Structure 1
Amino acid sequence: MGDVTVTTSEGPREGVPQPVGDRGRRRLMDRMRTPRPPRLWFEILLIALSYWTYSIVRNAVPEQRAQALRNADWIWHFEHQLGTAFELSVNHAANSVTWLVIGMNYYYATLHFVVTLGVLVWLYRRHPGRYAATRLVLFATTAVALAGYYLYPLAPPRLMRGGHFVDTVMVHETWGSMASGDLKTMSNQYAAMPSMHIGWSLWCGLTLFALARVPWVRVLGLLYPALTLVVIVATANHFWLDAAGGLVCLAFGYAVAWLWYGRWPYALPRRAPARQKLRKGARPASGRP
């Protein structure tokens, strides 16, 4: 008689032959979902290509200036109805302290990239087993943000008509934003929703808080996204609702990582099941004498 494949509700039994196609698919999925130590050359290439794609897609989205300004007016009106339209007061208060607002301009322009890359490098070196799942959160967050830029063009507060916001980069003539001054032609000025300054900074903060062992580093991890929120509002680059949009995108990123790996990204990685080796002289577990 030929071999008989036995399938139970508990899954395939040991020693019972399974269809080759099913075994191959299962092994492939297990391999893809099992985090492996990252390769430096691949990670550098992946990050470079991902950021290049992000920049191209984000800046290729039609600016739709009229619609972006209408959306900004609507958000400003909605925040007034909620009683949370505090952006103008924060913007003017920060602008009255020259050294502070100039520092915020440079903060907005640089730390967004420097800290995010720094956390990725730290993950790669100190937590390679958690790297892939945590990186997936960041990439999924950024991908869904691109959809937001396309579907909901939004002007930042500094570009509103009659909003009385101060464009702190233009006023203080600092290099602080790719969307102001001579650099404005290099970036889509109407991609304020969602704020990836918040999405990325919160990803950095949660990652440091979850994995860092030094207490003050964990505290800085929590302070970083909070300070970033102050900066994006004070420089009139975002409404606080843009920050809420960044938070939603980040939640989506964590959900994608959870669904793919079946665990919290910061949890210890599951190892691939090792093959059982028979001891010398031991009999195979076939049930036969």
Structure 2
Amino acid sequence: MAAIEVIGLLKCYGDLRAVDGVTLSVEEGEFFGILGPNGAGKTTLLELVEGLRRPDGGTIRLFGESPWPRQPQLLPRMGVQLQASAFFERLTAREQIRTFAALYGFGPGRADEWLERVGLTDKADTRTEDLSGGQSQRLSIACALVHDPDVVFLDEPTASLDPQARRNLWDLLSSLNQSGRTVVLTTHHMDEAETLCDRVGIMDRGRLLELDSPRALVRGLDAPVRIRVVPDGLDVGDAAGLRGVDEAVLEDTSLVLTTRRPAEVLTQLAAADRLDGLQVQAATLEDVFLDLTGREYRA
């Protein structure tokens, strides 16, 4: 059964179509990612599905019901972490999350458990305005999860986190998904999407450009593989003459071979004992993203 169904969704601001005819579905228990450059419409799409904005056209179904106008029976089933954290003023981290838990009928024990799960026990008595950006982000995520929702919406959840906290959050989100919850997130980190998501949708200028698993999207790009070795007597001309090599160039102290037949090229290099410094770089989700959305700077 689909947890989320979106058909022909439209949201306009004047002449700007922030979401332009998007159609997609997210299955219950799926980990779904929405990718796109700044201004692509990712956050607006989430806010429409969450019932925070009224669509100008199309339909949305969240567990079979329309989230707009706001449906009180849907609210306990959703956990929402917004791009910008907004907390009650002058509350400590413990008071903040206990307040969120109480709004949904949960006691302080559940709140304290989530403080521990996001690594904020030592900051429990710190006022929210005195938390660092990364600590505020983790508290925001804990507040979105404290009431045990069926579907979790996370808008760039690791944007302010250091690498260690980011990886710890990956483990937490994976465990949530494995327990049957539906997770929908936006992110600018392609490695995050590749690691966590069952499927991703890539948006640009309000439109959904592609939707599939990360592996399928990379496979569909049909990009060449780059093989990097130490030259060690193998010149560019000899390397270019190997079967399956499309191009051979020197980059700094390495010889880089471009090919769509990597197994054949590697076999020849191994036979000639030319594997020193070997690195094989295949296409990634980032290559797919750039191929679809371009490389120009976005505001």
TM-score, length basis structure 1: 0.22
Larger Rg, first or second structure (1 or 2): 1
| More strand as a share of residues | 2
**Bigger relative contact order, structure 1 or 2 (CA pairs below 8 A, ≥6 apart):** 1
More helix by share: 1
